Amino acid sequence: MATAALRFESEEMTDSKIKKILSLFATFFKIGAFTFGGGYAMIPLIQKEAAENKKWITDDEMLEIVAIAESTPGPIAINSATFIGNKVAGVTGAAAATLGVVLPSYCIITVIYFFLKNFADLLPVKYAFFGIRAGVIALVLKAVIGLVKKQKKSVFTACVICAAFALALFTGINVLIIIAAAAVAGFVYSLISARKGDKKE
Amino acid sequence: MILLKIFYTFFRIGLFTFGGGYAMLPLVEEAVLSNGWLEKSAIIDFIAISESTPGPFAVNMATDVGTSVAGIPGGVLATLGVILPSFIIILIISRFYRAFKDSRLISGAMRGLKPATIGLIAAAVINMMRTVFFPNGLAISAVATKEFAISAVIFGVMTVLALKKINPVLTIVISAAAGIACGYIFRIGV
């Protein structure tokens, strides 16, 4: 059955569709290969390539993608690639764009991994990682500060931040349960504040 | 079987990571430690590698952890696992975008999810500090070692640089150089 469906699809594939799929793959490969840090760092590049250069999406759609990416699980890069790929060339397009954005990272990391593995026991490499470990904490700390600044200031937000922090640090409760509980708490809170007639949202 | 477990673990991580980037850090930490796959310090090394290479952080971390646990197949399955939930969810949502956008359930849940993610990453920072500054367990005497002092100074300087929006890759390069220099000058134990 699967092969029949596949054949059907390939018969449907016109030259222009194949071209689109290849172009999606190439464009997202480029995006994946040239953005450091991932996440929001990718948005300007996606915007430039997919909206300005290729005209696959409009600027409004780009904003929508960011909004969707923020409220769905997973990396923004993957969300955007899937969304744009799907819009341009269906599921195959989505797969091509997603694969494109992932492949550079995957290859680079694999190479680095095996490279470092061979040199991990050398003294300079050990010293380097001694320094890097301390420096990396600074990077993550900076990310936390940035995220806090971006949040709307409210008592509820502050309570959830502190509760999640304390539960993760001082209890053995699974992180997934904390995340699920926070989602429920957020939903209940928004129901209550809506009932109170709080239209600020 | 280890490969299935890697795939399943990273699929779950992909499904529960909201906001991307460092949001997956607490989940990776928990999964890796509860399965006994890697040392805590290895996770920190992977963060450094993920930060200094291009591409989405989640994919870099998945490839790194997967490969170190079960070689190339592990890396492939971890990467597939972490991207698959997003892929499927976005394909579904793009068909029901209006309903999704106006859903009170989703927007309500996000009001809890975003701050919770911040709290969880902050907790991960504290755990990382414990690993790096007190590798032999929390003790007052540990503060008196040269390793602690050097780590603390590098951390302090890098925090200032990071807050001044210095490029993360540069931050890591400077940290590595400082580690090598201090390592040879002070003969630290690593």
Task: Supply the pLDDT for residue A15.
Answer: 84
Output the pLDDT for position A12. 60
Q: A49 vs chain B: nearest CA distance in angstroms?
A: 16
Contact criterion met (CB < 8 Å) for B55 and A32: yes
Substitution target in A28, A35, A56, A78 with the highest count of B β-carbons within 10 Å is: A78
A113 contacts on B by Cβ (under 8 Å)? 49, 63-64, 67-68, 75
ipTM exceeds 0.90: no
User: Given an 8 Å threshold on Cβ–Cβ distance, is B85 in contact with A73?
Assistant: yes
**Pick from B53, B108, B114: which is nearest to A109 by CB?**
B53
Instruction: Yes or no: say if B93 and A112 are a contact pair by the CB < 8 Å rule.
Output: no
Nearest CA in chain A to B172: A132
CA A106 to chain B, closest CA, distance in angstroms equals 6
The Cα–Cα gap between A188 and A190 comes to 5
- The count of other CB atoms within 10 Å of the CB of residue A176 is 16
Residues of A in contact with B58 (CB under 8 A): 38, 74-75, 78
Do the Cβ atoms of A191 and B123 come within 8 Å?
A: no
pLDDT band at A120 (very low <50, low <70, confident <90, very high): confident
Query: Sorting pLDDT into bands at 50, 70 and 90, what band is A1?
Result: very low
Question: d(Cα A132, Cα A17) in Å, to the nearest integer?
Answer: 46
What pTM did the predictor assign? 0.84
- Which residues of chain A are within 8 Å of residue B85 when distances are taken between CB atoms? 73-74
- The pLDDT value recorded for residue A41 is 72
Closest Cα in chain B to A104:
B55
**What is the pLDDT, as a whole number, of residue B172?**
87
- Tell me how far the alpha carbon of residue A6 is from its chain's centroid: 29
Contact A105/B60, CB-based, under 8 Å?
A: yes
Which among B120, B124, B175 is the nearest to A134, CB-wise? B175
Token pair, residue B33, equals: 């430690």
- What is the predicted pLDDT for the residue at A198? 52
User: What is B20-88 written as a DSSP string?
Assistant: SGGGGHHHHHHHHHHTT-S-HHHHHHHHHHHHTSBS-HHHHHHHHHHHHHHHHHHHHHHHHHHHHHHHH
| pLDDT of amino acid A9 | 52
pLDDT of the residue at A35: 78
State yes or no: pLDDT of A4 exceeds 60: no
**A73 vs B172: CB contact, 8 Å cut-off?**
no
Residues 6+ apart with CB under 8 A from B8: B81
Whether residue A2 is predicted with pLDDT greater than 80 in this model: the reply is no
| Arithmetic mean of pLDDT, A89-106 | 95
- Residue A1: which residues within 8 A CB-CB, separation 6 or more? none
Q: What is the C-alpha to C-alpha distance for residues B16 and A200, in angstroms, rounded to an integer? A: 28
- Average pLDDT in chain B: 89
The mean pLDDT of chain A is 86
Looking at residues A96-115, what average pLDDT do you find?
A: 93
Question: Any CB–CB contact under 8 A between B130 and chain A?
Answer: no
pLDDT band of residue A88 (cuts 50, 70, 90) is very high
Q: What's the pLDDT score for residue A201?
A: 46
Chain A residue at shortest CA distance from B49? A109
Output the pLDDT for position B139: 79
List CB contacts (< 8 A) between A35 and chain B. 54-55
State pLDDT tens for residues B149-178.
Answer: 999 999 999 999 989 988 888 888 999 999
| Confidence bin at A13 (pLDDT 50/70/90) | low
Task: Give A-chain residues touching B51 at CB under 8 angstroms.
Answer: 36-37, 136, 139
Is residue B166 less than 8 Å (CB to CB) from chain A?
A: no
Tell me: the pLDDT tens digits for A24-62? 999 999 998 887 766 677 888 888 899 989 999 988 888
pLDDT at A77: 87
Please tell me which residue of chain A has the smallest CA distance to B170. Answer: A135
